[in-house]
Structure formats: C-alpha cells, structure tokens
Structure 1
Amino acid sequence: MKIVLVQPPVEDFYFTPHRSSVLGLHALADVWTKRGHNCQILNFPLEKSKKKKILLPAKLEYLVPYLKKQDNEMKNTSWFSNYYRFGPSLEICHERIIALKPNVIAVSCFAWSYAQTTIKLLKMLRENFQENPPFLVVGGAGVSVMPDFFAPFADLVIIGEGENAIEEMEKTVAIKRNIIPGSKITMDPPMDIPFPWDIKDKKKNRFTVTTMLSRGCPKMCSFCANHLVFGKALRKVDIKTVFIGIDNILDYVLKTSKPLDLKTDKSGEHEYKIKLHVNFEDDNILFQKKYFLTVLEYIKKKSDQNMIDFSFSAENGMDYLLLNDDLLVELKNLNLTQLNLSMASMDSGQLELEKREGSIKKLEVLLKKSEQLGLPVITYFICGLKNDTPVKIVETLAYLHSLKTSIGISHYYPVPGLADWQDRNVFLENPPFLCCGSSAYPWNGSLNTRELITAFRLARASNYIKDSLCNKGMVLKIKTNLLKDATMDEVMVNLFFILVDPND
C-alpha cells in the first residue's frame, strides 16, 4: 500500500519548529515500511516560508487587548502580537496529499488543542475523492483523549499507539470493503518499540537530531496526559535497536556533510568540524539512568571515532528528584549542553494536590552544582493550577529569579480524560484551542487572563534582567514600562519588584 502520513498545519500564536519532529509518524513509517508498504511523511508545519498571519478566532477575542506589538524597549518582556498559521493552507495540503494518490492517509493530531484543524483537513479529504477514496485514519495524542470527537470524519480512529493498526488497515484495504465509518480501535502497545528519529541539516556541517527512547509514565500527575496515550508502564527501546539507529544517524551525517578541512589547535589536537546535537524528547528518561548513560556513551564513542562533535539535551525536561551531583557531572562530561528541569510548583500543598513530589532544597543544590559546571538551566513551573493565587505565582517568580536559572512558565490547560476533567461536555462546549497554553484561558479560575499574562511577562522580564546583567537603573526602567501598560496587573508587578529587590 501507498501510505501518506500527515501532520496538519498549526494555528497558534507561536510555534517551535525544532520541537515539531513528528516522532510518532516516523515510528509508524518505520514499522509499516518494514511490512513492505511505501510510506511518505508530510510535516506541513515545518515547511519554510509558510507562516501566515490569520484572523483571530472569535472565541479568542478576549485576548485582543493584550495582542500588541511592543517597541524595542519592551520587546523582551512582551506577550504575543498576532495569530498565525504555520504551514500551507488546508487547500494546498489537500492538493499535495491527493496528488500522491495514496491508498491510505494517516492524519496525526499531536495535541487536543489542534483538533479543529485536523478535522477540517479530514473533511476535505473525505469530500473531495469521487472514486476509489483512500482509507482515512486518524490518531495521535489529541485523538486518544477524545476519540468520539474524530469518529465521524475518518474510517478508522486509533486510540493509543498505532504501530499495530497496520494489520486492520491491510485487511480493510485489501478486500476493498467499507468498515463502519469512525470505527475505533484501542491498540495494544507494540511488543518492540521502534527507535524514531528526525534529523535536520544545517549549514556548515551542523546536524540536529530529535529522538525518543521510551514511552509511558508510572506517575499520575493530575495535569499530565502522558498515561492516557502511552499507559502507566514505562517501556524503553531495545538497546540493540538504539545502537543500529545511532549507526544509521552517523552514517547519514558522514555521507551528507561536506569534506572536512581539519585544523590543529595549540594542543596538537584536531578541531571537530562536524557537529551533531541530539535532543531526547522523553518524559521520564531518568527512570532508566543506566540505560540512558549507555546510549549517551555509545553516541559519544562513535562520534569521537568519526571526528564528530556530539552534544545533547533533553528539552522535554528531566525530573530533578532523580538527579544528583555525581550524575550531573557525568551528564556534563557526556556533553549535556543545557539542563531543563520541571518543578511544577514550589507550593508543597499544591504539589500534594497534583499528586506530584518536590524538594526545593534539592533543586537549590542541583542549581548550585550546575553553576559550578557552567551548565545553563531552565526551570519550568505551571501557572494557573487549582489552588494558585497571584501572590503565590509572584513569589514563585521572585524565588526563581534569585536562583541561577532561567524561568520557563507554562499556563495550565486541561485535556479530556484528566482526573479533574472527566466531564466530556466541557470540551464539546468549548473549542479545543482554548486548551492551549498560549490562550491564557482561566480554566481553574485561580488566576484570570490578565494575571496569567502578567505572570508570563514577568517571567520574561526576569530572564531578560538576568541575561542582560541589568543594573538598577535598567531594572527600574523595565518596572516603569510594565506599570505603564494598562493590561498588566499592577499589584503583581509591584510585588515582584519588591521581592526581587526589597531595598529598592
């Protein structure tokens, strides 16, 4: 069969291209290709020069007062200014897909917040094939949490992991029978997890790889949907499969890189001219420490043998409770470039409510060690949890400001199926894009939209102040400019700067 796997364009205020590696589609393509099928991936959001300003949806008009372009003086503390489509129009996507004349079209919805765009594309694909329509499949994390929402628009709805769905697709397409549209299947996890990877070539022999080594999560954090898609059991890719995949990556890098013009530094050693950075998107990779270290050691050894400068990161975050000083040193020696940590909240009562553990003292120790190692850190927390208050959030911002870390702030949003969000009617009555952090929607009512956006901008202000080594005069100017903005919460702004510098 000819199978086209599709990632629809994204409609949002922002998009992070290097995080859109569609590893799920790569995993499916790998497994299905090995069964003899011709698979092609269309990752529309990553197509260059396709970002286009579009109309703000009516249900997001509450954000209009906040959507303004800041001058140069305030650009480092701003909110968003425009709403965009990242990728070509759905009409062009449709044309590109049907031109390939596939037997099967598998469309991914990687987040519930982008469900509407996925459904629009499915409707176009179903309505515009007059003869021999292809078999329409839809799956992904966004589908798995609310499959009935997608059922009317596809022949098959995959819940959970999709590798084994190929058997049902083969049967159906081979005998050319129509199954009941919208049939849903809950797939058992594959016995052997594939090793998906996506590589991006940059100029001057620089390569960036995104991959994932594990699936599932034994934790039950109330704000996370990982277990709804991958289950509660943590599973890892077989180490031999990983090694084969790494070898393939290095072969690709060596074959596509330009000839090396090696120079010798003062120590007599050659400078590496090929750079390879690997970002691991795992949620809980430190649950398998020895395994992870074995993978890193293998990549570094093979890279060194081939004169490749290897580095890595884990941008989806590491559980700081599973880190210690010795492990940090080991990761640094294996060329970790940045530490991404998630603390969720600094409020112990809030953490207990969210079924999450935490230790502020341990976080501080790790940050001090990271500073000694010269390792930059981003520490993330969630803003807008059930028992949050504006004061608690400002205290969190001021606390993180006092530490050697950048601040990563994530606005809370729910998805269907989470412990506190079992009523599916809530998600039928509200458009999916409200379940997007950038929508700053007050889902829990603990902070309103104005307070959520103020917190976001204060986090940006903190990062700018520390990154730019601002003196007192510059800090005062930032505070003054923020207070001049009528969309900012004055009490939160004043409290933040009092806590940051009580002697000011």
Structure 2
Amino acid sequence: PLSWFTACHRFGPSFSESAELIAGESPDLLFISSFAWAYADLSLQLAEAAVRIRPELPVIIGGHGPSSLPEYFLKAVHPVYPGRPLFSLVVSGEIEGFGELLRPGKADNRFLDLRKLNPKCDIKPMAGESILRAGRRSISITLTRGCPLKCRFCSNHICHGRDFRSSPPGMWVDEVIRINEKYGGTPKIFHLNIEDDNILFMKNDFFCFLDAVRKHYPEVSFSAENGLDYMMLEEQDIIRLKQSGFTRLNLSLAVLSEDSRNKEHRDGDPEKLEKLIHHCHEADLPVTTHFICGLDGDNREDIVKTLRFLDRLPCQTGISNFYPVPGLEGFEDAELFLNRSPSLALGSSVYPWTGALSSAQMITAFRLARWSNFRKKLLEPKEKPFPGSTGADSDTEEELFRKITGSRRLHTILKAGKKGSNRTVVPLSHLDEDMVEGFFR
C-alpha cells in the first residue's frame, strides 16, 4: 500500500508491431503525435521502427513534445540513411486550420512553428478509446483548447495558447456516438472520461452534454481525471455530477498555502474546498484531491501541512511531483533539456528540478500520502464510512496498519517467494524523518 513505482508499463503494441501495422497500410505519409515532452524518446523509437521497414516514408511529428522543444526532434537522424533527418517536418503548436501548410514546399527548414498564430477554424471535439476502467470500455474526449489562466506550473499554453476555445457543443454528443460505433458500438455500458480541466468555463453546456450522453447510454459513467477546478464548483453542482453518473471526483488543489498560490498565480480557497469535500462525502461521491509537490519555493513544512490538511478530510490524497517542460516559466533555456533525458520530466522520476525539495523528500511525501489513503481504507467511522473504506485485504495489511500506528514510522510490505507469497512488514528507509515526524505529530 505504501510502495513506490517499481516498473514502467507502456500500453499498446510494441514499436516493431506498430511499425508492421503502419507498413501494412502502405501510407504515403506518417503523422506522429507526441503527447508530452517526457515521451519524446518513445516518439523517436516509433518513427525509427517505421522507417526501418519503409526507409523512404516521410514522417511528420507534432504535439506537445515538439511544441516544447522542436530542436530535439529536428536533430534526430534517420536510422537507415544517416545523412538524412528522421523527420521530414516538425510542427509546433496546433495544426488545426493550417493543414495546407503541410503541403510540400510550404514549410521552411523542416520546421513549422504555429505557436504564435491565431487559429483559423472552429476546432472539433476529439475522442478515442482508452484503457479499461473498472472493467468497462473507456472513451476519453477533449472538447476545448487553450487556457487563459497563468498558473506557472502548467504547460497547456505552450501548445494551445492562452485563448480558451471550445468546439461547438452541438458536436460533443455526436463525437461520443461516432467513436463508440467506431470501436464496436455493441456495449451500451461504458465509461467516458472528459480530458478538459477547464470544462467548467462552460458549466451549463457541460451539464447538458452529460444529460444528453446519458439519454443515449443510460448506464454510462463519467470522470474528469485531469481534475476539475473546485473554485468553479458549488454544492448544487456536486449533486448534479453524482446524478449524471460521475463515479468519482478528481479535484485540483495544486497548492495549499496562500504564499505558494500567489507565487504560482493560482486561485484557491481551502475553506471552500473543505466544504465541497464534505458535501461530496454526504452525497456518497468519492473524491481524490490532487496537489503538486516540489514547486519552486516549496518547503518540507508546507508539504506536511498540505498532507495533514487532506488527511483529516474524507477524501483520497493525490500527489503529483512537479516536473517542467521546455519553455515553462523559469525553464526557457533549451540546454537544460537537450542534455538530460526527457524521462526526467516524468513525475515518477522525482528529479529535483527546482531544488526546493530533494528526491528523498518528494518520495517521503508520496509515501505519506499513500499511508493516509491506506489508513482511510481501513477506517470505518461510526457515523459514515469514508469513501473506499473496505477494510484490510489480508492479515499482513492489518499488521502493517498496527506497526505504523504503533511506531509512528512508515513501513511497507516486502514480497518474496513465488508470486510474492511470502509477505513481511518491514520499516521503510531513505525517508526524510523530519517530515514523517511532522506528519504524525
């Protein structure tokens, strides 16, 4: 229950299998969307696998990764023809509305920079099948682009700009129906995840969308896993989200202290958040509240205060270790990233980008959050159980709970033997003991 990440799993076919599938379609051109800077090397591996089978295949890459640091992709070398670049064209920014610029001769020097241009067309909602959630087919959908807020830690604007734009709400349900039919359409029960973290800018349209989808698919469930801005929610909205089919709320706290909120240009009201979480609890709607650890100016005391604040509330604690992408405020120097692996921009890498907290301190905060969630899983208050309170899964978990509560030190379960059949409770090491002591104080 308190374990750190032990492996990285990439979903989907291998790069070689993907390359075979691509070649089987005999394409004239291959487009790759690089989802995030952290996955830049994976995008390169896919492109390399494809051109090893089809060496003459032109490859165009775009998305958040190339929008953050196009130089990294421009310098990639073709694996079959070392004198050639891997990518025929690298695109930064949104390509929607600028498709004509992809024609031969329209882009100069293999680089098309659209980050400063105003969009030329209405955007469209985009949906795709995702991983199974609770055994249900899952679809994720994006309805909007851009964000006018200026949170220092957020990189949304690097690719999509500061202007908030929405696809026509009348197209939203049609896109859900289209993608459901594309991937079979038979299951009437599925899960829909809304990717937009600013969808509450259009709260009325959002609720109408939920009602319309539920009319087509009465058993559908919903989530917004990137987190909803609690500052835009009211108590009556909680009931409506529950009635619409939300099975869990992900709320974005980001930072707790007022000084940190001001530094990060982030609005917030902890008292309002606390009331909303209690309202969700009364409505039997589980909540995970997310905050960021390792921001510039963070300190151990504030992180422990945040953990203790969430620990006393009927919610799960979600902790995200801060990582920058090229171009973020304070990280504009490309050399910071050209000489480091993109994988260091994964939260699980716990790389101390700002120097405010060490890797050990961020891991300590993560394990304390896991302990808080585990403790609530075992608690069963007389008045009303915490969401997700299921009791211990084994005698070893009961022992783990007793050891931690008795010693006020963090322990974990060490698995050994065939399929981890031998399970032993052991103390955790390499932690920041001052943080642990402060949390249990």
Provide TM-score, normalisation by structure 2. Answer: 0.82
334, 337, 342: which is aligned to 2:252?
A: 342
Tell whether the 8 Å contact from 1:151 to 1:184 is kept in structure 2 after alignment: no
Partner in structure 2 of residue 418 of structure 1:
328
For structure 2, the 5+ residue unaligned runs are 76-85, 380-390, 392-397, 412-425
**Offset from partner CA, 1:241-282 (integer Å, 9 cap, x none):** 22322443566699524xxxxxxxxxxxxxxxx423211000
Partner residue in 2 for 1:33: none
Aligned amino acid, residue 147 of structure 2: C
Separation in 1 of the partners of 2:133 and 2:236? Answer: 36
Q: For residues 413-463 of structure 1, give each alpha carbon's deviation from its aligned partner in whole angstroms, at most 9, with x where no partner exists.
A: 111111111111111122211111010011111111111111111111110
Q: Secondary structure at the match of 2:128?
A: strand
In structure 2, which of residues 186, 189, 193 is the aligned counterpart of residue 275 of structure 1? 189
Matched, 1:148 2:81: no
**In 2, are the aligned partners of 1:221 and 1:355 still within 8 Å (CA)?**
yes
Structure 1 residues 258-337: aligned runs within 5 Å: 274-303=188-217, 308-337=218-247
**Equivalent position amino acid for 1:109 in 2:** S
Aligned match for 1:237, one of 155, 158, 167: 167
Matching residue of 1:207: 137
Deviates further, 350-359 or 200-209 = 200-209
> Relative to 1, partners in 2 of residues 1:254 and 1:167: Cα closer, same or farther, differing over 3 Å?
closer
| Bigger mean CA deviation after superposition, 84-93 or 281-290 | 84-93
Q: 1:178: how far off? A: 10
Q: Secondary structure at the match of 1:163?
A: coil
Work out whether 1:429 is the aligned partner of 2:339: yes
Q: How far, CA to CA, are the matches of 1:254 and 1:411 in structure 2?
A: 38
Tell me which residue corresponds to 1:96. Answer: 21
Say which SS state the counterpart of residue 486 (structure 1) adopts.
coil
Number of residue pairs the alignment of both structures matches: 396
Q: Distance in 1 between matches of 2:23 and 2:143?
A: 33
- Residue number in structure 2 paired with 1:439: 349
Aligned residue for 1:290, secondary structure, equals helix
Residues 98 and 120 in structure 2, CA contact (< 8 A), matched pair in contact too: no
**In the TM superposition, what is the alpha-carbon distance from 1:84 to its structure 2 partner?**
4.7
How far has the Cα of 1:296 moved from its partner?
A: 1.3
Matched-pair contact (CA < 8 Å) for 2:292–2:321: yes
Separation in structure 1 between the aligned mates of residue 131 and residue 351 of structure 2, nearest angstrom? 37
| Change beyond 3 A, Cα 1:248–1:90 | closer
Contact (CA 8 Å) 1:154, 1:181: kept in 2 or not? no
Secondary structure of the structure 1 residue equivalent to 2:66: helix
Report matched runs for 1:482-497 at 5 Å.
482=411, 484-497=427-440
The separation in 2 between residues aligned to 1:109 and 1:255, in whole angstroms, is 28
After TM superposition, give the deviation of residue 366 of structure 1 in Å: 0.6
1:402 and 1:425, CA in 2 relative to 1: closer, same or farther beyond 3 A? Answer: same
Q: 3-state SS of the aligned residue for 1:120?
A: helix
Shift in Å, 1:491? 1.7
SS of the residue corresponding to residue 77 of structure 1 reads: coil
**Structure 2 residue 117 is matched with structure 1 residue 184:** no
Q: Work out the CA distance in 2 between the residues paired with 1:249 and 1:87.
A: 18
Residue matched to 1:72: none
The one-letter amino acid paired with 2:71 is D
CA deviation after TM superposition for structure 1 residue 185, in Å = 3.6
User: How many angstroms apart in 2 are the aligned matches of 1:449 and 1:205?
Assistant: 35
Secondary structure of 1:245's partner?
Answer: helix
1:108 pairs with 2:36: no
SS in 2 for 1:193: coil
Equivalent residue letter for 2:429: A
Secondary structure at the residue paired with 1:102? coil
Partner residue, 1:354: 264
Q: Report the counterpart of residue 372 of structure 1 in structure 2.
A: 282
CA deviations on 1:68-112 (whole Å, 9 max, x unpaired) are: xxxxxxxx0011223455455434433432333211111121110
Letter in 1 for 2:427: K
CA contact (8 A) 1:207 1:253 kept: no
Whether the 8 Å CA contact 2:23–2:53 is kept in 1: the answer is: no
The change in CA–CA distance for 1:332 and 1:253 in structure 2 (over 3 A counts) is: farther
Encode CA deviations 1:133-155: one digit per residue, 9 max, x unaligned.
Answer: 22210011111111122123311
Q: Partner of 1:134 in structure 2?
A: 57
Instruction: Give 3-state SS (helix, strand or coil) of 2:318's partner.
Output: strand
8 Å contact from structure 1 (residues 158, 165) kept in 2: no
Separation in structure 2 between the aligned mates of residue 256 and residue 180 of structure 1, nearest angstrom: 47
TM normalised by structure 1 equals: 0.73
RMSD (Å) for aligned C-alpha atoms: 2.7
Q: 1:199·1:210 contact (CA, 8 Å) conserved in 2?
A: yes
Deviates more, 1:78-87 or 1:148-157: 78-87
Deviation for aligned residue 1:179: 6.9
Distance 1:157 1:252, change over 3 A: closer
Q: Which letter does structure 1 place at the counterpart of 2:310?
A: L
Q: Contact between 1:164 and 1:190, CA under 8 Å: does it hold in 2?
A: yes
Matched, 1:193 2:123: yes
Q: CA separation in 1, counterparts of 2:132 and 2:436?
A: 41
- Structure 1 residues 134, 179: closer, same or farther in 2, change over 3 A? farther
Tell me: CA distance 1:200–1:119, structure 2 relative to 1, closer, same or farther (3 Å): closer
Alignment pair present for 1:384 and 2:294: yes
| Distance in 2 separating the partners of 1:237 and 1:168 | 22
The match for 1:473 is: 402
* Aligned position for 2:418: none
**Secondary structure of the residue that 2:189 maps to in structure 1?**
strand
Identity, in percent, stands at 36
Pairing partner for 2:147 from 217, 224, 227: 217
1:352, CA displacement in angstroms? 0.4
